Amino acid sequence: MNKFAEQFLSIVKDYETIIVFRHINPDNDALGSQWATVSFLRLLFPKKIVLGAGLHQIVKGVDYPASDEIADYQFKGSLGIICDTANHERVDDQRFNQCDYVIRIDHHPIHDLFGDLLLVNEQASSTCEILALMFRYIYIDPLPKQIATYLTAGILSDTIMFSIPSVSSKTFLAASYLTQSDIRLSDIHAELYHYSEDEFIFINALRSKIQRSSCGMAYVIVNRSMLEEHNMHPNKAKEYIFALSQVKEFKVWAIFIEIDVEGKSLYNGSLRSQSIVVNDIANRYNGGGHPLAAAVKHLSYFQVNELIEECCIKIANEEK
């Protein structure tokens, strides 16, 4: 980590324009790591131009800034920093290819070796954990509240409140450093996990529509009429996959959200599992992620059913 931090700083000092990226359909770890990096670099280098790229989309959590408007010419000769993104197709602004040099900071399994300098730690619980520990080495004093909030939200969200297998002593070291700042964990937790009565009704509607395969897979297909009925944005709806979790009998669970793509009905989905690896399946369906938590995108209804069948086959093979 110390070696990377020194490399990171050395490269950053060489560029006047720095553009920070995240993955499409961002979650709190993607947005938290992106805006923590933007804010941290603006703090260290107030004379540099530091911008956040991507299409700003709704996510349940802290109030992240809207993305900056970036002209094509600003990418040329710039430094690109890509956070929490496993493959180049998922970078939310493909103009990252025009950057002079690209640093990638991530915790997903490596499938795509893009970027000039990589800090990829598959054992880390989140990209925000990696950044918090790097910032701790660079910036000894407690971080400003906003930066600490972004990083804490990413860690709490990606670890599901420190409950997943990748949580380690380093996760708590990062959290310990962040709580030295003027933040309240209870407030950030409330922003991430408390929900309104309307959300409560939507969660109950999801649970009422759970379909159960005999293999032990549970899933919900959310069509656009259901989204409209509950005034729910597709990107926000996918976060409610937790509504299917914590059921012993569900070996794999998934949520598929219908979206409109150039007049076609396609589906974005999230997959979760107790112990069966699902990211290899997601990789074959325009997605990827962690072994037990992955995402897919732009699937036809036929592909959704194909994916479900693949999951069932894998569950059956695991049981053998």
Q: Is the pLDDT of residue 1 over 70?
A: no
- Of 96, 92, 93, 173, the C-alpha closest to 128 is 173
The whole-number average pLDDT for the span 239-264 is 93
- For the whole model, what pTM was predicted? 0.85
pLDDT tens by residue, 177-221: 999 999 999 999 999 988 889 999 999 999 999 999 989 999 999
Residue 52 bridge partners (DSSP): 20
Q: How many CB atoms lie within 10 A of CB 91?
A: 25
The whole-number average pLDDT for the span 136-150 is 95
CA atoms within 13 A on the CB side of 35: 26
**Ordered structural domains, the chain, with CATH:** 2-192 (3.90.1640.10), 198-319 (3.10.310.30)
Distance CA 75, CA 84 (A): 20
Q: Is the pLDDT of residue 23 over 90?
A: yes
CA 90 to chain centre: 11
Distance CA 157, CA 185 (A): 12
Q: What is the pLDDT of residue 246?
A: 87
* Overall residue count recorded for the chain in this entry: 320
- Could you tell me the pLDDT band of residue 140, with boundaries at 50, 70 and 90? confident
Distance CA 116, CA 103 (A): 6
The whole-number average pLDDT for the span 120-129 is 96
Q: How far is CA 130 from CA 112, 125, 126, 227, in A?
A: 19, 8, 7, 35
Q: What is the pLDDT of residue 5?
A: 92
pLDDT tens by residue, 62-115: 889 999 999 999 999 999 999 999 889 989 999 999 999 999 999 998 888 899
Q: What is the pLDDT of residue 214?
A: 86
Q: How many CB atoms lie within 10 A of CB 280?
A: 14
